[in-house]
Structure 1
């Protein structure tokens, strides 16, 4: 049975999601050289490795950046400084040559987000519990890294499970992150309606990258809470 996501109505959100199953725990699935090459690129300067992996929509630009920030602002969140979209963090890291490999699941996420210019969340499905829902959080916070740093998520679009918010377009929670033993992940592409077909193109490419690396992919079913 396909995984179901309940998605609250949102005027600017264009969401895509799928479940990926890896052939072995992530500690046994190294990232291939061609993926690492795309991870090391600045898409605004040279995207040869990404193009060789099938990306054909071009690099992110200021129009795309504004559309993503407008998406996050809709609920009252302020996407700037340390709270800017994850895709902007990746671009800054790539330009500073500080974007390194973490594990195959995260590397796939980061390559797709970096070159498509849209935030992407990846969570370990064994670390979240149904029901899963996407919507704006009125107020809250969670720990987002191993050192215990906290992000305030007031007014931010979030993926929420039975225990509360666990991922968003800025920083995913520590409790739901992948690890060495991860086998199944939920991948969420946080697209904006203003980006049109680019959102689905990014999701399709992201899924194709998984298949290229030996993972199977199944599209998640997105439905409205009352529908």
Structure 2
């Protein structure tokens, strides 16, 4: 699968992990224990670290989006949930995603690979673009927001972003392959550091998601 970027932001860094033949299941005790320990640690900390938090927010402001309030990055939401004793434990795949986000402070999309063709595009949302992000039918305005999109011919369909992933693209009980996208800035992590993080993402999806094969790559805006 090819992922390309159309942002014109030299600070943008994306770590992309793709895992094939995964199984959606209850989270393994080892990962559950590690995640619970991390949640306990973060419950008393001001996390993400200020420099990471500001770098991610600046990345989102670059396109004209305002990352605050209900539109704060997903990584900030998870850290706040840890502090407020309401951290979500979902399933093995989503818990891998949330573990890494809570560990490093970057927002991450985790999407069903079957929603994509052979290519994907990371671009800014256009004026008027929206998608539903939960079963209640709530929508998020995607204008000027970084989005990961399915791409078919000249048509692109947003499925995820650093704030909230779409309901259509989220992991389902019968999901068998996933694509994960870590959104970050060169102000907070080097390309080498992002490569290591993407590889860790892929490795955890193999260990705890049962993936038969994985790939990891770094993209620069």
Same fold (TM over 0.5): yes
The reply on whether 1:177 has 2:170 as its aligned counterpart is: yes
1:56 alignment counterpart: none
Residue 66 of structure 2: aligned partner: 78
CA distance in 2, matches of 1:64, 1:223: 18
Aligned to 1:51: none
Return the offset for 1:65.
0.4
Contact 1:39-1:94 within 8 A present in 2 as well: no
In structure 2, relative to structure 1, the CA distance for the partners of 1:69 and 1:125 (3 Å cut) is same
Aligned length: 208
Selected match of 1:103 from 67, 91, 95: 91
2:120 maps to 1:125: no
Aligned 8 A contact 1:4 1:223 in 2: no
Partner of 2:216: 219
For 1:38, the equivalent position in structure 2 comes to 34
Which residue is equivalent to 1:153?
142
Contact 2:14 2:220 in 1 (8 A): no
Long gaps (5+) in structure 2: none
The answer (yes or no) to whether the contact 2:56–2:185 under 8 Å persists in 1 is yes
What is the distance in 1 between the residues matched to 2:218 and 2:15? 9
CA shift, 1:43, in A, is: 4.2
What's the Cα RMSD here?
A: 2.2
Cα offset for 1:135? 1.3
Structure 1 unmatched runs, 5+: 48-58
CA displacement at 1:166 relative to structure 2: 0.7
Deviations 1:176-214 (A, max 9, x none): 111111110001111111112343343232222223223
Q: Tell me which moved more, 32-41 or 137-146.
A: 32-41
SS at match of 2:86: coil
Question: Structure 1 CA distance, aligned partners of 2:118 and 2:167?
Answer: 18
- Pairwise CA distance, 1:95: 1.5
Moved more, 113-122 or 14-23: 14-23
Residue 42 (structure 1) shift? 4.0
Range 125-134 or range 145-154, more displaced: 125-134
CA contact 2:110–2:179 (8 Å) conserved in 1: yes
Q: Measured at CA, do residues 21 and 130 of structure 1 come closer, stay the same or move farther in structure 2, by a change above 3 Å?
A: closer
* 2:5 is the alignment partner of 1:7: yes
Q: In structure 2, how many angstroms separate the alpha carbons of the residues matched to 1:168 and 1:144?
A: 11
Alpha-carbon spacing, 1:42–1:66, altered in 2? closer, same or farther (3 Å) = farther
